[in-house]
A and B are shown apart, each in its own frame.
Chain A
């Protein structure tokens, strides 16, 4: 079984709809992240969470919100989807090891299309 799972894997929606993308992990990591990937570009950080009570904005948080329901679950919401939010979305996890930079482990991605 995959350590980091994302649902749904694909979603097509219309402008103005509310969308929630979900991420679950079985790695026991305390840190979780949401990224967006556009064609020809690297990943850009939307939100990150260091634990259940800690939520932080990333580089491109406008138009998005998140919820850390439990250590293992981190969901991303688009309150009112717009076409330029069409992209591939990745969830990632990591475990802080007290100084050394933590390697991030990625889920398989959710392909979102906003019409």
Chain B
């Protein structure tokens, strides 16, 4: 079936370095993608989204890149901080569709 998946279940980065979290998707009809951050003991929190008519979108310290040719999504976090430690999920859906398809998540660990 169609799904969203992640290449790396765990990512360790040095504090201050940039982090890149990757996600592959298989549903060619998906045209809206979202990154969520889930800290321990909390619900997922929206970080940033991107539509399929865009290749890149920037937020505060975060950038999402979309490569539709290879169906790949990435989240870049600049100058990673201890507070960035969390599990990061990508999710996709078709504009107007109620149902998000979630990836399994990548755990980001920050090394001091």
Contact = CB atoms under 8 A, between A and B. Distances in A.
Interface of A: 4, 31, 33, 40-45, 48, 50, 56, 58-59, 90, 92, 99-101, 103-109
Interface in B71-100: 89, 91, 93, 95-100
B92 to A, nearest CB: 10
Contact of A109 (B43, B89, B96): B43
Contacts of A103: 34, 46, 49
A110 to B, nearest CB: 10
11 contacts: A42-B91, A42-B102, A42-B104, A43-B100, A44-B102, A50-B98, A56-B98, A90-B44, A100-B95, A101-B97, A104-B46
Contacts of B42: 108-109
A103 B35 CA distance: 11
Interface residues of B, number: 24
A101 B95 contact: yes
A43 B44 contact: yes
B102 A43 contact: yes
> Is chain B's interface secondary structure helix, strand, loop, or mixed overall?
loop
Given A42-B4, A90-B43, 18 more contacts: A4-B43, A31-B98, A40-B104, A41-B104, A42-B102, A43-B44, A43-B100, A44-B102, A45-B99, A45-B100, A58-B99, A59-B99, A101-B96, A101-B97, A103-B46, A103-B49, A108-B42, A108-B43
Most buried by A among B89, B91, B95, B96: B96
B41 interface: yes
Nearest to B49: A103
Given A40-B104, A42-B91, A101-B93, A106 B45 contact: yes
A101 B104 contact: no
Contacts of B93: 101
Given A43-B44, A90-B43, A90-B44, A104 B95 contact: no
A18 to B, nearest CB: 25
A100 B95 CA distance: 6
A85 B10 CA distance: 26
